[in-house]
Amino acid sequence: MTLTEKILARAAGKAQVQAGDNVWVKADILMTHDVCGPGTIGVFRREFGKNARVWDRNKIVIIPDHYIFTVDSKSNRNVDILREFVNEQRIDYFYDVIDDPNGHWTFDATQGQLKRQYGSNFAGVCHTALPQKGHTRPGEILFGTDSHTCMAGAFNEFATGIGNTDAGFVMGTGKLLLKVPETMHFRLEGKLRPGLMAKDVILQCIGEIGFDGATYRAMQFDGPAAAHLSMDDRMTIANMAIEAGGKNGIFEFDAQTQAYVDHRCKLNGTKATYEPVERDREEKFVYELVVDLSKLEPVVACHPDPGQRKLAKELNHVKLDRAYIGSCTGGKTSDFLDFARIIRGKHVAIDTFGVPATPEIVRDLQAARWDDKTVWQILVEAGVQMTENASCAACLGGPTDTFGRMNTPMKCISATNRNFPGRMGHKESQVFLASPMTVAASAITGKITDPREFLS
């Protein structure tokens, strides 16, 4: 069996499963957020009754993160609906925007977008917050009401996005009927050269198979190069499995996974035991690709989908209006550090927005010092508009006052993960997906630029 099949077999209580089997699996965690949470709660109440209790209040994680820093009253109300439900059901893990359990969330626009407006429990973007807060464990099943839930496959778990109806069912029963996906095998070899990042690896793979090339399939990433990727890198790659239509992305378990997970579970007092899965000698794949990382060049996924791969150096004629670094995919600490290595000592030529994925990442960047300045200061002095309000921000467009949202047709290079028309705001805008380093180089020149031009 493949890694995905092994996890699903165990969660189904079976010795063996194969692609195409329909099995009932037990959930270890159900995650939801402010956009889908109210709908999920509605389904749960409708189907199980208004006095029903959730299946396990210790296994539901609720993370408001999408449309938070906006004056839009319906968006603010969604956060309040989550809080009321958490109080009613006594759910253990709720990363509220405010500290008052009986309060109401409203964003104060008069304070501007840059200074933090959240309380001490706020966790930021769900997929980045889940591992940071100790909710991702090897061998487990994670369901989330968000397509990029697959990011947690970096931790050797089966993690996938589900709709509100399925999530309402999981909320009431703790289980879900799943078809076991076929597995595609991506063997990573070689070593990334300077100027290249994990984002280039996944854009390379998606470019190879197309934005629907992995539809309802597991994408298994392994091989000697995978073992050398950091957890942040593995998260970037697993996150974008869905951009090829993948059901999930998954990595092997190793000492690095163990160190990360053990540390985070201990830090947050979450469940510390887990059972990883290892590769079998016999694995059945429907597709195999060997990717030699040492041969990759910086790539960009052009408008209008993540499969439109081109080399960054061939797009030097594309003039840009905006650059954006942020999201679960490209707003991690390591993403900002690599971005800052290119930007340092220079100035951006176009509007450039920086949105760390979580408050912890804001703190990391404000604490990290390069000579006499923090990385945060270096970015601000280079002209990057850095907000402390960690969230999804313009990655998903959002209300018109969302930080970084494209409200007019424009061209933007972005470290995010999705570029379908209208994704970051105006439906006539064009989004070019790239690594944080390529975004940095392009922000400096105002056109799509290979970051190796800025490496000393």
* Chain positions contacting ligand SF4, by CB under 6 A: 66, 125-127, 146, 148, 327-328, 392, 395-396, 416-417
Of 174 and 330, CB closest to ligand SF4: 330
The strand order across the sheet containing 430-433 reads 309-311, 299-301, 430-433, 411-414, 322-326, 351-355, 385-386
CB 283 within 8 A of CB 187: no
Of 236 and 449, CB closest to ligand SF4: 236
Of 65 and 338, CB closest to ligand SF4: 65
Of 76 and 329, CB closest to ligand SF4: 329
CB atoms within 10 A of CB 275: 11
Of 144 and 451, CB closest to ligand SF4: 144
Of 67 and 107, CB closest to ligand SF4: 67
Shortest gap between Cβ of 235 and ligand SF4 (angstroms)? 11
Shortest gap between Cβ of 350 and ligand SF4 (angstroms)? 21
Instruction: Look at residues 48, 21, 238 and name the one whose alpha carbon lies nearest to residue 130.
Output: 238
The encoded tokens of residue 197 equal 């990042």
Shortest gap between Cβ of 168 and ligand SF4 (angstroms)? 20
Cis peptide bond upstream of 304, omega within 30: yes
CA distances from 358 to 92, 102, 122, 250, 303 (A): 20, 24, 8, 23, 27
Burial group, residue 199, by CB count within 10 angstroms (0-12, 13-18, 19+): buried
SS (H, E, C) 397-427: CCCCCCCCCECCCCEEEECCCCCCCCCCECC
- Indicate the SS3 state at residue 250: strand
Shortest gap between Cβ of 396 and ligand SF4 (angstroms)? 4
Of 62 and 225, CB closest to ligand SF4: 62
CA distances from 63 to 59, 71, 249 (A): 13, 19, 22
The encoded tokens of residue 284 equal 């059945």
Shortest gap between Cβ of 65 and ligand SF4 (angstroms)? 6
397, 416, 125, 206 alpha-carbon torsion, rounded to 10°: 120
Entry field: residues in the chain: 456
Shortest gap between Cβ of 195 and ligand SF4 (angstroms)? 25
Shortest gap between Cβ of 412 and ligand SF4 (angstroms)? 14
Identify the helix (H) or strand (E) that includes residue 218. strand 217-222
Strands 182-189 and 158-161: unpaired
CB 402 within 8 A of CB 366: no
Shortest gap between Cβ of 405 and ligand SF4 (angstroms)? 12
CA 219/CA 13 separation, integer angstroms: 23
Shortest gap between Cβ of 125 and ligand SF4 (angstroms)? 5
Of 1 and 126, CB closest to ligand SF4: 126
Give the phi and the psi of residue 108 in degrees, each rounded to 5: -100, 100
Of 226 and 395, CB closest to ligand SF4: 395
Shortest gap between Cβ of 327 and ligand SF4 (angstroms)? 4
Shortest gap between Cβ of 316 and ligand SF4 (angstroms)? 28
CA 108/CA 390 separation, integer angstroms: 15
Of 142 and 328, CB closest to ligand SF4: 328
Of 223 and 397, CB closest to ligand SF4: 397
Shortest gap between Cβ of 110 and ligand SF4 (angstroms)? 26
Of 274 and 353, CB closest to ligand SF4: 353
CB 32 within 8 A of CB 40: yes
The encoded tokens of residue 308 equal 């439109």
